[in-house]
């Protein structure tokens, strides 16, 4: 349990709840109730029933043969892309919408980058008949048009965030402002393992289904629940945390988190947070973030909207600082190439976010026979425009 949150809401030096007083009652209400609600047997039953019948879990663990052959290792893909709505994000939104209902909330807000979390939130709001408002950066609205249309069709109101870099960070600011202005009836479904305590822990718990299933599937398929490597991409870090969760205390399993280098870590257009960042406070928790010497948040860049975030969750900061996780980065181009490679070798078009994790295989050296699990966090339908433009298809 050494990598989990302590009773004060910290992971080592990181975490906490750095929030203005206006948010305190909401966050405190959550803090006092989230474990009680989640641990309740009826909640667990309903949560798992929905994950099975509505999301389509368990998601397959697929041994990618041609990819394995290419790299000389047994490469397993955890197929979160096959979930309803096309990414891992729905694991968390199902959990949080049930929790919001238990807290008696009538209105749901969320931020979104690639639109996957927005779609997953709008979906569960339609399912449970709750009002839904999604904040999305103007730039992202532009580059993720199909997801915007899906959210609207699902009945959500999509509000453009037009401040700052007009991406995920700014959408998060706007969602927090909404929550400040609607302190009583609204629940904010944060989509990643970021934000004030208890959000990083709560989201990690809901996403931990990914590694819980993976362990069982590895036993069935290999007889050993401990692979040599576990890889996932990291923006805020929710799919990675879900993928790492039940492996964190298995110290022999190497955890590799892949950040977005954008146009290169030294190009000035990057989102490689652990490489470029320093310790500080962003969106309510102490973590590592990209910032100026004066503590102003630096605007990130990544071709992938879901990784275009200047921070990482506090638990990731802790895994990084303690050396438990290895944090690396992959450029825009490397990720797009890896996306095309997976498409052509395995017939799976990955989200560009997930393609960052795949791209790191190129940089690894295998003796042969190692078991490698990669979280294929989402499908690439939403990224077709970007792929088409890049490869002149």
Partner 1 sequence: MNRIKQLFDKKKNILSIYYTAGYPNLDDTIQIAEALQKSGADMLEIGFPYSDPVADGPVIQASSKKSLDQGMNLKLLFEQLKDLRKNVTIPVLLMGYVNPVLQFGVENFCKACAEVGVDGCIVPDLPMVEYEEFHQTCFEEHNLSNVFLITPQTAEERIHKIDGLTNGFIYLLSSSATTGKNLEVGDTTENYFSRIKSMNLKNPTMIGFGISDKQTFDKACSYANGAIIGTAFVKAIESGNIEESVSDFMKNFKG
Active site residues: 89, 111, 377
Nearer to partner 1, 169 or 318 (CB): 169
Binding-site member from 2, 6, 22, 53 for partner 1 (CB under 8 A): 22
Considering only residues 150-209, where is the footprint of partner 1 by CB under 8 A? 163-164, 169, 173, 176-177, 180-181, 183-184
User: Is there a contact between 37 and 99 (Cβ–Cβ < 8 Å)?
Assistant: yes
Nearer to partner 1, 169 or 215 (CB): 169
281 binds partner 1 (CB under 8 A): yes
| Reduced DSSP (H G I as helix, E B as strand, rest coil) percent helix, strand, coil of the chain, to 5 | 50, 20, 30
Q: What is the dihedral of CA 329, 335, 338, 344, to 10 degrees?
A: 160
Phi, psi of 375 (to 5 degrees): -80, 110
Nearer to partner 1, 29 or 249 (CB): 29
129 binds partner 1 (CB under 8 A): no
Instruction: Kindly indicate which of the ranges 19-27, 62-70, 151-159, 201-209 contains the residues binding partner 1, using the contact rule CB under 8 A.
Output: 19-27
- Least distance (Å) from partner 1 to the CB of residue 220? 46
282 binds partner 1 (CB under 8 A): yes
- Least distance (Å) from partner 1 to the CB of residue 66? 44
Binding-site member from 1, 7, 20, 367 for partner 1 (CB under 8 A): 20
- Least distance (Å) from partner 1 to the CB of residue 348? 37
User: Is there a contact between 243 and 208 (Cβ–Cβ < 8 Å)?
Assistant: no
291 binds partner 1 (CB under 8 A): yes
Contacts of 380 (CB under 8 A, 6+ apart): 81, 339, 343, 349, 350, 351, 352, 355, 387
Plot region of 115 (φ>0 → left; ψ -120 to 50 → alpha; else → beta): left
268 binds partner 1 (CB under 8 A): no
DSSP string over 153-202? HTTPEEEEE-STTSSHHHHHHHHHHHHHH-TTTEEE---SS-SSTTHHHH
Side by side, the strands of the sheet bearing 186-188 are: 157-161, 131-137, 107-112, 186-188
- Least distance (Å) from partner 1 to the CB of residue 168? 12
Helix, strand, or coil (residue 291): strand
Nearer to partner 1, 103 or 149 (CB): 103
252 binds partner 1 (CB under 8 A): no
Nearer to partner 1, 186 or 270 (CB): 186
Count CB neighbours of 18 within 10 A: 16
Rounded to whole angstroms, the Cα distance separating 226 from 151 reads 38
Nearest to 175 by CA among 201, 199, 154, 155: 199
Count CB neighbours of 364 within 10 A: 16
- Least distance (Å) from partner 1 to the CB of residue 321? 16
387 binds partner 1 (CB under 8 A): no
- Least distance (Å) from partner 1 to the CB of residue 120? 23
Alpha helices in 51-186 (DSSP H): 65-71, 89-102, 116-128, 138-143, 145-153, 168-181
Phi, psi of 258 (to 5 degrees): -110, 115
Considering only residues 293-322, where is the footprint of partner 1 by CB under 8 A? 293-297
273 binds partner 1 (CB under 8 A): no
24 binds partner 1 (CB under 8 A): yes
Binding-site member from 15, 16, 118, 195 for partner 1 (CB under 8 A): 16
Helix, strand, or coil (residue 25): helix
- Least distance (Å) from partner 1 to the CB of residue 124? 25
Nearer to partner 1, 63 or 180 (CB): 180
Phi, psi of 348 (to 5 degrees): -125, 120
Question: Which positions touch partner 1 (CB under 8 A)?
Answer: 8, 16-22, 24-25, 163-164, 169, 173, 176-177, 180-181, 183-184, 278, 280-284, 291-297
């Amino acid at each position: 349990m050494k990598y989990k949150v302590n009773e004060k809401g910290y992971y080592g030096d990181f975490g906490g709840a750095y929030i203005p007083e206006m948010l305190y009652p909401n966050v405190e209400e959550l803090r006092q109730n989230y474990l009680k609600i989640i641990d309740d047997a009826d909640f667990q039953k309903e949560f798992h029933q929905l994950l099975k019948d509505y999301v389509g879990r368990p998601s397959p663990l697929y041994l990618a043969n041609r990819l394995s052959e290419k790299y000389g290792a047994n490469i397993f893909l955890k197929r979160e892309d096959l979930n309803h709505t096309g990414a891992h994000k729905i694991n968390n939104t199902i959990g949080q919408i049930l929790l919001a209902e238990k807290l008696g909330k009538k209105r749901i807000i969320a931020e979104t980058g690639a639109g996957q979390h927005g779609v997953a939130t709008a979906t569960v709001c339609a399912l449970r008949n709750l009002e839904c408002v999604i904040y999305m950066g103007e730039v992202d609205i532009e580059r993720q048009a199909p997801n915007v249309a899906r959210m609207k069709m699902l009945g959500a109101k999509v509000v453009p965030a037009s401040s700052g870099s007009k991406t995920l960070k700014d959408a998060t600011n706007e969602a927090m402002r909404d929550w400040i202005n609607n302190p009583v009836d609204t629940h904010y479904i944060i989509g990643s393992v970021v934000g004030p305590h208890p959000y990083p822990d709560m989201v990690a718990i809901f996403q931990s289904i990914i590694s819980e299933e993976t362990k069982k599937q590895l036993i069935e398929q290999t007889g050993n629940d401990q692979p040599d490597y576990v890889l996932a991409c990291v923006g805020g870090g929710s799919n990675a945390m879900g993928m790492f969760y039940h492996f964190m205390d298995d110290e022999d399993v190497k955890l590799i988190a892949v950040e977005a280098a954008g146009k290169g870590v030294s190009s000035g257009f990057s989102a490689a947070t652990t490489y470029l960042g320093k310790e500080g406070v962003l969106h309510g928790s102490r973590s590592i973030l990209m910032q100026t010497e004066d503590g102003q948040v630096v605007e990130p860049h990544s071709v992938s909207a879901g990784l275009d975030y200047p921070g990482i969750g506090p638990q990731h900061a802790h895994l990084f600082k303690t050396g438990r996780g290895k944090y690396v980065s992959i450029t825009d181009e490397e990720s797009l190439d890896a996306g095309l490679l997976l498409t052509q070798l395995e017939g799976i078009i990955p989200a560009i976010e997930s393609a960052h994790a795949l791209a790191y295989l190129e940089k690894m050296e295998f003796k042969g026979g190692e078991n490698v699990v990669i979280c294929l966090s989402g499908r690439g339908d939403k990224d077709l425009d970007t792929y088409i433009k890049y490869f002149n298809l």
